[in-house]
């Protein structure tokens, strides 16, 4: 696709894309409200809830929380500095403003 065609096509797609994004935002908000109601019901009843073949329940999971603050507290400053220097990468990101 040449540049002029791409520009034209992009400009024609913008209104449709914005409309779809707004509609998706509304649907996501409604879905979140439903899930909050499900969550409240499951928490109060202590029983899983099945809706449309999907089961909503609570379960415990373990996870490792890794933040720079915790790394800095756990390791010697020179080791943290060395790790940061060795593992810092620059990437090029294509942006639309």
Environment class of 17 (CB within 10 Å of its CB; exposed 0-12, middle 13-18, buried 19+): exposed
Residues paired with residue 51 on neighbouring β-strands, in sequence order: 54
Task: Per-residue pLDDT tens, the chain, 97 aa: give them.
Answer: 999 999 999 999 999 999 999 999 999 999 999 999 999 999 999 999 999 999 999 999 999 999 999 999 999 999 999 999 999 999 999 887 7
DSSP reduced 3-state for 97: coil
Res 97: pLDDT: 79
Count of CB atoms within 10 A of residue 75's CB? 13
pTM of the shown model: 0.64
Beta bridge partners of 56: 49
Phi, psi values for residue 54, rounded to 5°: -110, 135
| Token representation of residue 13 | 């797609």
């Amino acid at each position: 696709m040449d540049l002029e065609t791409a520009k034209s096509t992009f400009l024609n797609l913008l209104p449709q894309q914005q409309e779809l994004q707004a509609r998706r935002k509304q649907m996501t908000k409604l879905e979140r409200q439903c899930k909050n109601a499900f969550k409240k019901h499951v928490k109060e009843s202590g029983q899983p809830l099945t809706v449309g073949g999907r089961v909503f329940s609570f379960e415990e999971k373990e996870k490792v929380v890794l933040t720079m603050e915790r790394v800095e507290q756990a390791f010697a400053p020179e080791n943290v500095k060395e790790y940061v220097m060795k593992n810092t990468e620059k990437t090029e990101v294509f942006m639309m403003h």
